[in-house]
Every structure is written in C-alpha cells, then in structure tokens.
Structure 1
Amino acid sequence: MVFSNAKNTNARQRAVTGTVAADIEGTSRVTEPSNGSQPGTDLGTVTILLDRQKVSVPRVPGETLLESARRAGLQPPFSCEAGNCGTCMAKLIDGHATMRANDALDEDEVTEGYILTCQGVPDTPSITVRYE
C-alpha cells in the first residue's frame, strides 16, 4: 500500500499496529491444551515403572504410553511403533488404556493386563504401567 504523505502514514501505521497487537493478544498460545480444558486443569498422571525406576509425568490427551515414557526421559523398549512386534509390551498396574491397534498380543495377554505401549492411550486420568 502506498501512502500519500508522512503524516497519514504514521497515523495508519499506529492504527494497524494497534489492531495487530489486539489480534495477537486475543490469539490462543500454542502451549495451551488443545482439548478444550482450561490451563492448570489436572488431566491426570502417567506413571511408568522401568528398570527399578518409577517416573510420573502429567497426562497429555491423545499421547500414547510409549510417548509418555519417552517424554519422562526413560528409554523403554520399542521397535515398530505400529502394534505389530510386541517389543513395547508392558503390564497395566492401575487405570485403563485403549490400544489403537494390536497385532502382537493374544486375548489371554490382554486379559492379564498387558498392553502395547506404542498403541495404548489412557482412558483414565491416572494410569500406571510396568515394563517387565
């Protein structure tokens, strides 16, 4: 846009700058939860037991148990991350999770509480898994 004189230019720049600042202030921050919950809302805890360590991290909606374990700084076993190999298998100690896919565990293992952590997404606010 071309302005005809400096006086109009400064006035328009101030108006645009004020509008942009107002728009920025009204825009959601990337770090806020995207699930509609309010900041500071306790979404629960994921607790991982691995190699004599017990680590808990805040639950992130949609995050798999494997992703939570890695975010906690642990190095859990995994390979395919597709639910095919069973390398990431762990036992649910507390809580419930749903597997997105399961081509590795049989019904008996699932009944006993085993889960593929690469596919398991917590359904309960708090959950505990143990890698064996």
Structure 2
Amino acid sequence: MRTLPCLIAAALLAACATLPPPVTTASGLVYQSLREGSGAPPGPTDVVRVNYRGTFPDGKEFDASKGAPAEFPLNRVIKCWTEGVQMMKPGGKAKFVCPPSIAYGERGAGGGVIPPNATLHFEVELLEVKR
C-alpha cells in the first residue's frame, strides 16, 4: 500500500512529466511554459497585465505583484521580460531564468535589493495584452 507522501510525489512527477522542457534562447533566457494560453502573443511595445513573482536562485523572493496585477509596456522592462513575455499567450504561465546580461547586469537594482550580476528567476502569468 502506498503512503500519502508517495502518492503526492507520484502525482507531482506525473504533472511535471507533462510540462514541455525548458528552452534556452540565443540571449541566454531559459523559458519554460507551465500553462499554455491562447490568442496572439504580445509584441515588444504592447502593454501587458501580469501576475509575477521574482526570486533569486536560492528561492528568496525579491519582488512580486502581491494583491494586484502589474501593468507595463514590454519595452520598458528588462530584456529578459521583453523577450520572455513575447513567448507567451494570454492566460499562459511560464518560468524565466534571466542571466545578468539580460537582467540588471553589473548595475544591480532596487537600491541594493538586486546585487550586481544577479541571475533572476521569475514565474509570470500573462493576464491580458493591450495593443
């Protein structure tokens, strides 16, 4: 007879097995779709509405859209986001791993919250595209 932890682990493995493998783009972005959306993806100057959570590789959160979605033009964010969100369709959810070269690079950000040359992880849900 299987124990509850084994059943939970088996369910998680089955769910993970259905996810497409991560894709690494020419810029170094690692993109993994968690849920496919539908419709047209945004363009580089479209305004998007998203829920997101940003963490460091160790899992420590540095930013999130807590409580209310964030809205911004894609050409006004880090290159990793401009590229990654354009790979999504409304209703989709994805993970991004952003190397420093397409994140905040040597300058860091947030008054020291994001140190120089930090690799950043994001989980992003694309709610809406405004053209």
Higher relative contact order (CA 8 A, sep 6+): 2
| TM-score calculated relative to the size of structure 1 | 0.28
Question: Structure 1 or 2: larger strand share?
Answer: 2
| TM-score calculated relative to the size of structure 2 | 0.28
